[in-house]
A and B are shown apart, each in its own frame.
Chain A
Amino acid sequence: MKSIISAMLLAVAVLSPAETAQAQAQPVAGAKQTPWGPANSQIEIAYVEPKDAAFRPLYDKLKKRQVLEELQAFLVPLRLTRKITVKLDQCGSAGTHYKPGGAVTLCYEYVANLEQAAPNVRVTIGGQTFTRDDALIGSFVHLALSETARAAFDVLEIPVWGREEHAADRVAGFLMFQFGEKVAYRTLVGTSWFLSQSSVVQTGLPTGDFSYTRAVDGETLQRFYNMICIALGGDGTRYAFLKKSLPQGRADNCRWEYLQLVRSFNDTFMPYVDKDLMKQVQATDWLAQPGGK
């Protein structure tokens, strides 16, 4: 559970540099306040009680931790033109996605899968210790951001070329890269871990370098390759260790793909971002939980 809590903290953190800590966001007139600052008044939230008792502990913990309130605060710079609802709910399957006019739904089933895929042992990836928390944080942040991105495409009428599912993944990956090396490592590698482990027949202990990835679910594997390509494109030196997981022909293209993503994000999303509120969000240390815990 602590991992899930951390995940939401980090979800907020991706819009802020980890280096700029402790500053408090200034009040937004009429906005609901959260422990992390003002909430985006266009985002309504709901914790839906699961019908399956197995998800009840997850529901209780996420609600107590106010993960959705934190997401509301994290997204305060985004000027949505109409209200959207973000909810945690039991979906019936893990593969439910946002549909136009609907709610952003983060499924208990998907969160449960994140926990199932997370390693129970410490491994070393890219010369750095990778923990179970890293896997959970990264993949939950990715879930929250990619599903919210789909809603933003709809609400803001963002032109989406190159298929929505890839666009949502890429926007999430791009955001995860914008807030310092520590945040980028935890989220990008954590997401990559989940995507790779979700597409493999597990034949042994993790090696820590994705080298035992074997596709049984091609589309998830495709998303894994896309994610590590973003990492290579964003910082080819820091993430050089990922090259062995990606054929050269694709790896050589990753920098170009990343630069195209940067330009496209600036052209489409930035007109809807409040720069002043963005600075306030960036001035908060989202990695630290309220009360210093």
Chain B
Amino acid sequence: MHRHLSLAVLIAAAIWPTMSVAQTQVPRNPNIIVDYIEPRPPIDPQDKSYADDMAAYQRFMKIYQRAKQRQLLEELAEFLAPLKLPRTLRVRTKPCNEVNAFYDPTDWTVNICYEWIDATEQMAPKTVSPEGFTRQEVIVGGFVGVVLHEMGHAVNDIFNIPVLGREEDSADQWAGFVMLQFGKNVARTAISGMAYVWLTFARESGAAYWDVHSTSGQRFYNFLCIGYGGEPAAFQDQVDKWLTKDRVESCAHEYQQVRNAFIKTMMPNIDQDLLKKVQAAKWLRPDDGKWE
């Protein structure tokens, strides 16, 4: 049960419209500064994209207001309390003019774009997708996944974590591994949701094999594989549907390799007492993420 709780902090943050502010005894990480950058409306009604920009602005304002009212980032700072950060890390939501989220090492800032949150809400099925992914999974997982991915970049940078493989894949692994540390239900919700986001992107655009990121299709399979590697029962139906037999057989090894890397490189940077406090809080509610 305890393992369900600390990620639940983040889950709660992702699904703020339907839940109250979490009641935790966890202090915020004093080295994390949070900020909500207010979107600005378009200024020229004669601009040909004005109507679309105004519609987007209005959606972003709703996201901004919800996030601020529900103290989304403050809760994230509580969730991250166990991280023994040697310097200030800034986390902010902001408009970016692109569907993205990114860590900027020049000022140690994690940026979560309103466009990303908006895009995942737009792509989420009304209830359940034809493939069986739920709206709750997509909204929760789409947010949790991207926040943890960017946090993966941040910790790689701040703690000088050795990355022998590719940086972007390591950030996905970091996110997937953390998602798996809080029980089957949390893992299933967050990882399935993130996987669906990549499945959707894979269907919408071609594969850029030259890029620093793995392709959207690869990321979809990778998330399902690490999920199965960590919680086989929770992902059996999905890997049966989506992964080849050869890949399924390697998932346990893939998960163990990430687990070993996390223990060796990350655990020295985590305060165990604060981790227990984070694990002692309850955040997730039954109706989380189920709004229209």
Contacts and interface: CB of A to CB of B under 8 A. Distances in A.
Interface of A: 99-100, 153, 157-167, 170-171, 215, 218-219, 221-222, 225-226, 246-247, 249-250, 253, 257, 260-261, 263-265, 267-268
A62 to B, nearest CB: 28
A264 B211 contact: no
Contacts of B161: 161
Contact of A260 (B163, B207, B254): B163
Given A100-B253, A265-B164, A221 B169 contact: no
B65 interface: no
B209 A163 contact: no
B255 to A, nearest CB: 12
Nearest to B246: A95
A250 B211 contact: yes
Contacts of B257: 153, 160, 164
B44 to A, nearest CB: 30
Nearest to A264: B162
A250 B222 CA distance: 22
Nearest to B164: A167
Interface string B34-56: 00000000000000000000000
Contact of B170 (A158, A161, A215, A249): A161
B215 interface: yes
A247 B212 CA distance: 11
Given A226-B166, A260-B167, A163 B210 contact: no
B215 to A, nearest CB: 7
Interface string B195-218: 000000000000101111011000
Given A261-B164, A265-B164, 20 more contacts: A100-B253, A159-B264, A160-B164, A161-B163, A161-B261, A162-B163, A162-B167, A162-B169, A163-B173, A163-B222, A165-B165, A170-B166, A218-B209, A222-B214, A250-B210, A250-B212, A260-B167, A264-B162, A264-B164, A268-B162
B212 A170 contact: no
B264 A164 contact: no
23 contacts: A157-B260, A159-B260, A159-B261, A160-B164, A160-B257, A161-B156, A161-B165, A161-B173, A161-B258, A163-B170, A167-B165, A170-B166, A218-B215, A219-B209, A222-B215, A249-B211, A260-B167, A263-B160, A263-B162, A265-B164, A267-B162, A268-B162, A268-B164
Contacts of B272: none
A99 B250 CA distance: 9
B260 A264 contact: no
A161 B162 contact: yes
B265 interface: yes
Interface residues of B, number: 30
A225 B165 contact: no
B21 to A, nearest CB: 34
A164 B24 CA distance: 38
B163 A264 contact: yes
A163 B162 contact: no
B273 to A, nearest CB: 24
Interface in B167-186: 167-170, 173-174
Contacts of B162: 159, 161, 263-265, 267-268
B160, B207, B210, B214 interface centre (most CB from chain A within 10 Å): B210
Given A215-B209, A247-B210, A166 B265 contact: no
A232 B257 CA distance: 29
Nearest to A247: B210
Nearest to A158: B164
Contacts of A225: 209-210
Nearest to A199: B209
B203 to A, nearest CB: 16
A171 B164 contact: yes
Nearest to B263: A159
Nearest to B211: A250
Contacts of A215: 209
A164 B165 contact: yes
A260 B169 CA distance: 14
Nearest to B258: A161
A158 B163 CA distance: 11
Contacts of A157: 260, 264
Nearest to A269: B164
Contact of B165 (A163, A221, A249, A267): A163
A257 B167 contact: yes
A163 B214 CA distance: 11
A249 B210 CA distance: 9
B206 to A, nearest CB: 10
A158 B258 CA distance: 11
Contacts of B170: 161-163
B209, B214, B261 interface centre (most CB from chain A within 10 Å): B209
Contacts of A164: 165, 254, 257
A219 B222 CA distance: 14
